[in-house]
Amino acid sequence: MSDTLEKLAAVIDARKSADPESSYVASLFDKGMNSILKKVGEEAAETIVAAKEPDDAQLVHETADLWFHTLVMLAERGLGPGLVLAELERRFGISGVDEKAARKK
């Protein structure tokens, strides 16, 4: 699965230099971080709404949109999914209570 995220991140990164008139991703990069963040927020809200409904396919669809736009956000900062996956891996074996308490120190 992480291979899919890495491949998608590579495509997104390549779109940074594409023509904004011919690439949706390039148009997001062209508009800047505020527009990207607005899109992430919209997709997060749509995912929440979908989660309240019984249609699993719609929830998966909206989650995919959210993940995609989150990858665009990371790419705008020069980051990729590998860093997020590494952070999740680091958290394995740590209880959520302990992990949260460690953040407060």
Closest CA to 62 of 46, 41, 39, 74: 46
Residue-wise pLDDT for 51-101, tens only, equals 999 999 999 999 999 999 999 999 999 999 999 999 999 999 888 887 788
Q: What is the DSSP letter of 54?
A: S
- Say what the pLDDT of residue 38 is: 98
Q: Is the pLDDT of residue 1 over 70?
A: no
Look at residue 53 and give its three-state secondary structure.
Answer: coil
pLDDT at 104: 78
Q: pLDDT tens digits for 93-105?
A: 888 887 788 877 6
Q: Within 13 Å, how many C-alpha atoms sit on residue 60's CB side?
A: 3
Look at residue 34 and tell me whether its pLDDT is greater than 90: yes
Closest CA to 3 of 58, 77, 82: 82
pLDDT at res. 36: 98
Identify the three-state secondary structure at position 58.
helix
